[in-house]
Structure 1
């Protein structure tokens, strides 16, 4: 029997303990009835013990403490008795004090596979015994704590080795290069969202502050500090507790905040202060200091801010941050180029604009022969890259918190430049009122000045000349103001009469098309019903008259969980244009459905695994979400995006081949279709009548379709 067999179907893992597996000897005994369960000889108790999942983790952690930290097994005790009045509980592992060998020094909990349960247990053990440090691990995640006082457990980067003290750990100066090595998102397999949840549990929930605002400030300050050190403007990272008192630490963090506000204006007021008490701030800084926020794409921040923003206004309006892997698929399929402009009309955390920037920057760097580094987002950019983000990329959102998050990310990614504006995209007739407001102009004037240059009519905000629009507009809620509805063709019903209310996402379809120039292209996330409800046929007719339908990609129902289980699809179109997209009555459309869910039914991401069951990491040490939308950095298989780009080349679509793209390869295209649920079908054949029956090519076989268009588990009648 192997360790994998023992851990199967448990909440335990060995991601963090793999290197010691060979040091754990497993054996089984023969009995008349067969072999016994697996056993090992305990390193501390020196006797045979049965191996349960938690015991495997405990034995491997004993080996880790001995081999990596130098602690002798003689200094460790297992099932140490902790007294609570008459009640006695047993601590899993205790390292005893070097000078007072009867006094607990560090307590380790492995039998509680969930952090909150383990942390509560550790608190009670430490408070009862006086131990100053504690560790919780389930083999997949690990957390180290310093018991600062009975009320607060402060995260620490590690525990001291046999020949170190806690002071040695806390006072050691850390640079960005050191942070790359100790980054707890990698070494402890934790997410920023879970770290913030831990902070809430420890101090934020009872701190009497706006949790979003205070965490936003801390992330803002930490990003500034990382950027300063990456660009060698500081000798070591300052967003850390180097053993200062709580009051001293708060003064230091306030000073960094003041510098960041001055350099990155328009996000916080000049007089904004950190409202956490010194002791609360100390816990939060210690929680975040070993997280590396800068990486190849800033995506570690997404889950955290989606959680924070969604606690207030975001979820009520039916808008959820689009997962980065869906964004990347859209960006790859629309293939943006350096000379093209792009906007997101419902920008949220600015995923579409920022990832468009990253895609084009990579093309620029490839053209210049510059290698992309691990700290791609933090390093000083080439002037061509800065010129692109200054002039070509824009975002608009009506939610103030989302705009501030996206402006922060855009300012950082764009080296101090951002074109993210706080406007109501649908109510464009009132933009003039907003943009004349002096306080609004103080923040958004530069971006607004650049946006106005792209108007179709210099005196109107109705239509613009963008090459690309990408958006995930809010699904929930209706627009009921007749003043707004009367500005849209889709404000009318199928019979041409204005309606009393229209779904917000329906108006966004028309608004996005108004933002596109002739020949421009769009990707928009829409609820599944827009594609197959008979009552929405007039919407599909409207789209078909304005543009060529390029593709429809069905997303899995779990993609937007846990916030909503609404099934969605991404619609890709190109506006008719005499040169770039000549109008046709009959043309092929690319249809595909996402087969790998990417998330489980609870909304937790599913990651690509190695053959031994551990999570696979990419070249930046990031977890890889399991999906079939595109090839992740050459590590996973080609997916829907690659198949579509080959389809686009085959069809001679205007955007299919950029400077770095290869010509159409028929053999490659056929290989890509194998294994993907993809259908190409002529547009005229999508106009299905109940009495018509036709054949569609599905992989290499023929299937008969009637009544409607078969689409994964659903039925679509697109037009």
Structure 2
């Protein structure tokens, strides 16, 4: 232990380690008190170099703020629901690539894709619709990807109070890319998100050939956005369902679960195991169990959770419950700014593999878990996304994480 301590001191401020799950209490490792791993020695420390952004590079007016302004203009000019107008225009742009008048394209998409419930604006003049179409095109051209621009647009238009009361927040696209890439989704696999929101994780997974993705969410507007993205990806809208992901009776049939469940709020008793493990469990703990239930043995899980689930003493029983049912391979702490401007709550991305059977009482396999810290969130302190190549460091984190996951049989 003396030699290991010396090696740890020489490593300086290492941001991640390899550890093992075993007996003992947790120890603080760098900035991340990862109590899901216990007292095993730190190994192979690595460092993410600091990145300081000059003030002159602060971002300008982004898509989210732009469409918050568009919402004000549309409501004042037409009295119609800004979300419905922007949704209709976006659907027309994504699903009808002709150069016809935008109002004609909206009507055509409303007829051909009835599951999207596209509502053709009645009082909005065609000139204003064309202007909205131009703004969407401008937002897309200035964003890293079409999907990232749509994320920002719909995030601005979904009522913030309603989402925050439910503990639901749009997942930044670079976090989605990180989680799905680490999960190594493969051709032909079945992927699910039991709290899919606007479908970010599913739309990223659909990039792989023949991937079957299914999602469910309780928010009707989020489901419509997810269905729109499904159609844009060449999938059918029926793969996204409106409903409570905690109450569905699906059986274990999925190879991969990728999700960022709602954090806040309790749920009425639903007969979950974690209800006997944690007093008044929050919904994220219930969704954690739900995700494991949906996975086949050996299935892979990538989930965003509150930091306290892997650090607080109160949730030690939950961590023990999880480790008995899944091989936890990695935990990556995300910056506080990740979900700004909605919340500064600390979060982690956790990766695990469902066991073929739960561990017996007293069974403690010697398993390593990779612990890491992301230091650059991709956002300014205001929550505005930064349009810079080095705005976030999850690519660097992934370059260190991926070889470990491959060696442990989690990915290829």
TM-score by shorter chain over 0.5: yes
Flag the 1:276–1:311 CA change in 2: closer, same or farther, 3 A.
farther
Query: Is the CA contact 2:86–2:132 (under 8 Å) kept in the aligned structure 1?
Result: no
Q: Distance in 2 between matches of 1:348 and 1:201?
A: 24
Q: Distance in 1 between matches of 2:92 and 2:400?
A: 42
CA positional deviation for 1:207: 2.9
Query: Is the CA contact 1:463–1:514 (under 8 Å) kept in the aligned structure 2?
Result: yes
1:418-567 matches, within 5 Å, as 418-428=238-248, 461-479=249-267, 481-482=268-269, 484=270, 487-493=271-277, 499=279, 501-567=280-346
CA positional deviation for 1:219: 1.5
CA positional deviation for 1:194: 3.6
Q: Choose between structure 1 and 2 for higher RCO, CA contacts under 8 A separated by at least 6 residues.
A: 2
Query: Which residue is 1:634 aligned to?
Result: none
Query: Which residue is 1:283 aligned to?
Result: 128
Query: Is the CA contact 2:332–2:350 (under 8 Å) kept in the aligned structure 1?
Result: yes
Q: SS at 1:551's partner residue?
A: strand
CA positional deviation for 1:220: 1.5
CA positional deviation for 1:643: 1.3
1:306-705 matches, within 5 Å, as 306-311=155-160, 313-358=162-207, 360=208, 385=209, 388-389=210-211, 392-414=212-234, 416=236, 418-428=238-248, 461-479=249-267, 481-482=268-269, 484=270, 487-493=271-277, 499=279, 501-577=280-356, 585-608=365-388, 624=389, 626-630=391-395, 639-651=396-408, 653=409, 655-657=410-412
Q: Distance in 1 between matches of 2:153 and 2:128?
A: 18
Match for residue 120 of structure 2 among 245, 249, 273: 273
What is the number of equivalent residue pairs in this alignment?
Answer: 350
1:47-446 matches, within 5 Å, as 191-205=62-76, 207-225=78-96, 228-229=97-98, 237-238=99-100, 252-268=101-117, 272-278=119-125, 281-289=126-134, 291=137, 293=140, 298-311=147-160, 313-358=162-207, 360=208, 385=209, 388-389=210-211, 392-414=212-234, 416=236, 418-428=238-248
Flag the 1:411–1:590 CA change in 2: closer, same or farther, 3 A.
same
How does the TM-score come out when normalised to structure 2? 0.78
Higher Rg: 1
Q: SS at 1:603's partner residue?
A: coil
Query: Is the CA contact 2:277–2:318 (under 8 Å) kept in the aligned structure 1?
Result: no
Over residues 532-583 of structure 1, what are the superposed CA-to-partner deviations in whole Å (9 max), with x where a residue is unaligned? 11111111011010010110000000000000000000111001138xxxx9
Q: Distance in 1 between matches of 2:381 and 2:147?
A: 26
Name structure 1 gaps, 5 residues minimum.
1-7, 14-139, 142-189, 230-236, 239-251, 361-384, 429-460, 609-623, 631-638, 658-719
Q: SS at 2:89's partner residue?
A: helix
Name the structure where helix makes up a greater proportion of residues: 2
What is the CA RMSD across the aligned residues, in angstroms?
A: 2.5
Query: Is the CA contact 1:329–1:641 (under 8 Å) kept in the aligned structure 2?
Result: yes
Query: Is the CA contact 2:274–2:318 (under 8 Å) kept in the aligned structure 1?
Result: yes
How does the TM-score come out when normalised to structure 1? 0.46
Q: SS at 1:512's partner residue?
A: helix
Q: Distance in 1 between matches of 2:130 and 2:67?
A: 11
Q: Distance in 1 between matches of 2:379 and 2:313?
A: 30
Q: Distance in 2 between matches of 1:357 and 1:275?
A: 34
Q: SS at 2:394's partner residue?
A: coil
Query: Is the CA contact 1:411–1:418 (under 8 Å) kept in the aligned structure 2?
Result: no
Q: Distance in 1 between matches of 2:356 and 2:341?
A: 41
Q: Distance in 2 between matches of 1:418 and 1:563?
A: 30
Query: Which residue is 1:144 aligned to?
Result: none
